Chain A
Amino acid sequence: GAGVSQTPSNKVTEKGKYVELRCDPISGHTALYWYRQSLGQGPEFLIYFQGTGAADDSGLPNDRFFAVRPEGSVSTLKIQRTERGDSAVYLCASSSGGSFDTQYFGPGTRLTVL
C-alpha cells in the first residue's frame, strides 16, 4: 500500500519568504506528526495531530511555525518569515492510533533558506 508522501521533496527559498510543506499520511491513520531533522541529528518533534486537532504542539520553535490538518488527513506545515536557521529536512510520520503506535515516516522535504 501507499506510504506517507511529502511534497515538495526539495524547497529552496529566500530569507523572509513564506513556505508550505505538505504531508499525505497513510490512509486511515488518525495520528500525524511533524519532525525536523538537522544535519547529523535525530528527528526533533514539532507537532502531533490526533484527527483534526493538534494534540501537542510543544515542539514548534516559535510563532512563525504553524500546522493544520483541516479534514483529519492531509497536513500542511507553514513557516512564515523564513530564516536561514530553518534550513533542515522536515519529516512527517503517521500512525494508526496514539503516540505508542508505530510511526511510519515519509521521505521528508529538504528546506533550504538562502
Chain B
Amino acid sequence: GENVEQHPSTLSVQEGDSAVIKCTYSDSASNYFPWYKQELGKGPQLIIDIRSNVGEKKDQRIAVTLNKTAKHFSLHITETQPEDSAVYFCAATGYSTLTFGKGTMLLVSP
C-alpha cells in the first residue's frame, strides 16, 4: 500500500518568515495530494490540494508543489502569522482512500 513520509515533525519560525513542509510518497499511481491543518481538539481542515496534472498551485500565502518523478510534494507558507500555528498533515491517495503523513507541528512566534 501507499506510504507517506513527512518532515520535519516540528517547525518553529518567527512571524513573517516562510515555512516549508515536505512529503514523499511511495505509490506512483497516486494522483491526488491534499494538505490539512488540524488545530487542537478539532478535525483536520483542508487548506490546499493538488492533482497530478499540475506541478504547482497557489492560494494567497499558501502554495503546494508536486514532483511526480521524484514522488515528493511540499507545502509552502509565506508571511507566517501566529494563527498559522497548528499541526499540518500531507496525504496521498492510496488504493481507495487517503494515506496521511505523521504531521508537522508548526509554531509561529510573534
Let me know if A106 and B95 touch, CB within 8 A: no
Contact of B96 among A40, A55, A105 (CB under 8 A): A55
Q: For residue B46, which residues in chain A have a CB less than 8 angstroms away from its CB?
A: 102-104
Nearest-Cβ distance from residue B27 to partner chain A, whole angstroms: 13
Count residues on chain A whose CB falls below 8 Å from chain B CBs: 23
Q: For residue A41, which residues in chain B have a CB less than 8 angstroms away from its CB?
A: 102-103
A107 within 8 A of B: yes
Count residues on chain B whose CB falls below 8 Å from chain A CBs: 27
Let me know if B44 and A91 touch, CB within 8 A: yes
Contact of B43 among A40, A58, A99, A107 (CB under 8 A): A107
Near B by CB (< 8 A), chain A positions 89-114 give 91, 93, 99-100, 102-108
Given A45-B98, A45-B99, answer yes or no on A100-B43 (Cβ-Cβ < 8 Å): no
Measured CA separation A108–B41 after assembly (Å): 8
Given A48-B97, A99-B97, answer yes or no on A40-B103 (Cβ-Cβ < 8 Å): yes
The 4 A-B residue pairs with the shortest CB-CB distance, nearest first, are A42-B100, A105-B43, A56-B96, A100-B32
Query: Which residues of A line the B interface, CB within 8 A?
Result: 4, 33, 40-45, 48, 55-56, 58, 91, 93, 99-100, 102-108
